[in-house]
Amino acid sequence: MRNPLLQVENVTVRFGGLVAVNDFSLEVTQGTIHALIGPNGAGKSTTFNCISRFYQPNSGRIVFDGTDITRSPASEMAGCGIARSFQNLELFNELTVLENIMIGAHVHCGGSLRAWLQAKPPAVMHHIDEVIERTGLAPYRKHKARNLDFGHQKLLELARALAIRPRLLLLDEPAAGLRNREIATLDRLLTDLVRTDGLTVLIVEHVMQLVMSISDRVTVLNFGTKIAEGTPQQVRNDPAVIEAYLGK
């Protein structure tokens, strides 16, 4: 058994009287794809926001590669190797595909963003070119983000996250709104990133065809509480999961 890269330990998040995440624990093994699924409002995005440090849990711990990051600021996450995409696109619409991805990579470089966009250091550009190639965005390099179709905007979000060379990639509904062909591309890309490059992925997704195909492990949340965990096969056949989520 390989080491956990990410440990979420007994995390609870309250919004006023609402318990959005309730004493939730999760371990994501290095070099695997782990899916977090469940109905709308189950607490999946809130969990992501705790891991990426946008939200402070009321109790519990987040440990990344053996280091407690529960109190680290969100701005340090990229530097320590955690990248995320958002459920709703957060692109710079007036900037090009290349510029959006360069902004992703800027976190490692410090200094002014403007100078960085002009300097284009060769070693970093080489990696960015590779990311653009692998995500299929090469024909759109110089296109403004707002002129891309939805599927390519989603890929651009993923490309920007990959530009920081993350060790852990958090993806919040990357397949939402994608066509079957685009989902197949995403499936191949994520599988390749994990199996070939050793990336670790935690993915929130409703597209079960993708979840069942790519995941090594699946955790199911309902009303902030873990109701099941196991291989895709185990989870798919779990009566509690069918009742709460899959049966509808």
The answer to whether 74 touches 85, Cβ cutoff 8 Å, is no
Which of 32, 34, 37, 44 is close enough to bind ligand ADP by CB under 6 A? 44
Q: Token pair of 166, please?
A: 């993350």
* Minimum distance of Mg ion from residue 203's CB (angstroms): 12
C-beta neighbour count of 19 within 10 angstroms: 16
Q: Please report whether residue 46 would count as binding ligand ADP according to CB under 6 A.
A: yes
Asked if residues 72 and 96 have their Cβ atoms less than 8 Å apart, the reply is no
Residue 150 makes contact with ligand ADP by CB under 6 A: no
| Region from 34-42, 98-106, 107-115, 230-238 binding ligand ADP, contact rule CB under 6 A | 34-42
Q: Which is nearer to ligand ADP, 5 or 42 (CB)?
A: 42
Interface with Mg ion, residue 85, by CB under 5 A: no
Binding flag, residue 174, ligand ADP (CB under 6 A): no
Instruction: Single out the residue of 26, 32, 34, 43 in contact with ligand ADP (rule: CB under 6 A).
Output: 43
Q: 170 - beta bridge partners?
A: 84, 202
Closest CA to 90 of 109, 80, 104, 69: 104
Structure tokens at 177: 């709104």
Candidate list 1, 2, 17, 40; residue touching ligand ADP; CB under 6 A: 40
Residues 6+ apart with CB under 8 A from 25: 7, 8, 9, 10, 11, 60, 226
For ligand ADP, the binding residues (CB under 6 A) are: 15, 18, 20, 38, 40-46
